[in-house]
Amino acid sequence: MSLLDMPTMFDDVDLARVRIVASDMDCTLLADDGSMPPGMSERIEALARAGIVFCAASGRPLYTLKDMFASHLDQMALIADNGAAIWANGRLAYKDLIDPPTYHELIDFTLDDGRGRPVLCGTESAFLLECDRVYDDFFRRFFTKIEYVDTFAGLDAEADKYTVYFPDRMAEEVYAQTYRDAWGERFSVTNAGKEWIDFMNKHVDKGTGITRLCECLGVPVADALALGDTYNDVQMLEAVGHSYVVANAEDHMRAHARFVAPSNNERGVAQVIDRLLEIAC
């Protein structure tokens, strides 16, 4: 069975129970060109009026998500850095930090390996080496605050995630060849598409993030709906009662979801929200 053969939102008979809608960002909510669905602000407001919380669940940092949804921070929730930071009820509800000696181990490993570029995801800005400024236009899509440094030595900034960027889009291969076995016992390690390998503390992922958010809001996780497209969405999809992959996801993702939504370029997340609002109202 391919993704296109899966049940759709019209087969989700308990959709009226949903009280949280959590969506991944890149290649799920956002189109391939990085644009938000037209009318998304109005949908967030309509969900709030219906007693449903919209949540952006992303590997992006909290400050970037707050910039993207600045006018809705009192109406919605944010799961940032793959669950390492959670924003709910207009405030920071949870954060999980990686201690400096530990992230320096990861940085040194990446530099010694030589196949990726180290990015320390600080809670106030991303830290990158000056020599990687050549990728600045790409980095700014994900990090609205960046500090370039000549060396990571001596850096002790507060950070909740570490990531490795692969300009050649070999993240999946390098993860399988090296990083999974080297670090999987100590960290929550995941691919975020073909360009990133993300590291969070053990037991931090989007799945624990959506579970913590549900606890914070007093919503059963069975009444949460999540949409995603790739590896770092797996735990979130498996945690909720209503799990959707977008049609542009790779076929292996169908094992982790009950339903398929239209693709990101077809604004599938917006279509699911519209269906939910139609039922709720």
Residue-wise pLDDT tens digits, 151-198: 999 999 999 999 999 999 999 999 999 999 999 999 999 988 899 999
Cα angle: 23, vertex 160, 64; to 5 degrees: 50
What mean pLDDT is reported for the chain?
96
pLDDT at 281 > cutoff 90: no
CA dist 83 → 17, 49, 200, 274 (Å): 24, 26, 8, 26
**Cβ(254)–Cβ(1) under 8 Å?**
yes
pLDDT recorded at residue 3: 67
pLDDT recorded at residue 137: 97
pTM (predicted TM-score): 0.95
pLDDT recorded at residue 142: 96
Mean pLDDT for 85-100 is 97
Domain-wise residue ranges, the chain: 3-96+205-280, 100-201
Mean pLDDT for 20-31 is 98
Binned at pLDDT 50, 70 and 90, residue 5 comes out as confident
Residue-wise pLDDT tens digits, 240-252: 999 999 999 988 9
User: Positive or negative CA dihedral for 175, 180, 181, 182?
Assistant: positive
pLDDT at 83 > cutoff 90: yes
Give the whole-angstrom CA distance, residue 195 versus residue 246.
19
Do the two domains 3-96+205-280 and 100-201 of this chain adopt the same fold? no
Residue-wise pLDDT tens digits, 199-238: 999 999 999 999 999 999 999 999 999 999 999 999 999 9
* Domain 3-96+205-280: CATH architecture, name and number where available: 3-Layer(aba) Sandwich (3.40)
pLDDT recorded at residue 177: 95
CA dist 178 → 115, 116, 117, 118, 252 (Å): 11, 12, 15, 15, 21
Q: Which residues make beta-bridge pairs with 165? A: 117, 196
pLDDT at 1 > cutoff 60: no
DSSP states of 119-164: EEEESS-EEEEGGGGGGHHHHTTT-SSEEEES--TT----EEEEEE
Residue-wise pLDDT tens digits, 54-66: 999 999 999 999 9
Which pairs with CB-CB distance under 8 Å and at least 24 residues apart come from 140-149? 141/34, 142/59, 142/60, 142/61, 142/64, 143/60, 143/61, 143/64, 143/119, 144/63, 144/64, 144/67, 145/63, 145/64, 147/122
pLDDT at 109 > cutoff 60: yes
pLDDT recorded at residue 2: 64
**Domain topology for 100-201:** 3.30.1240
Percent of residues, the chain, with pLDDT higher than 90:
95
**Cβ(70)–Cβ(78) under 8 Å?**
no
pLDDT recorded at residue 167: 97
- The residue to which tokens 């989007």 are assigned: 206
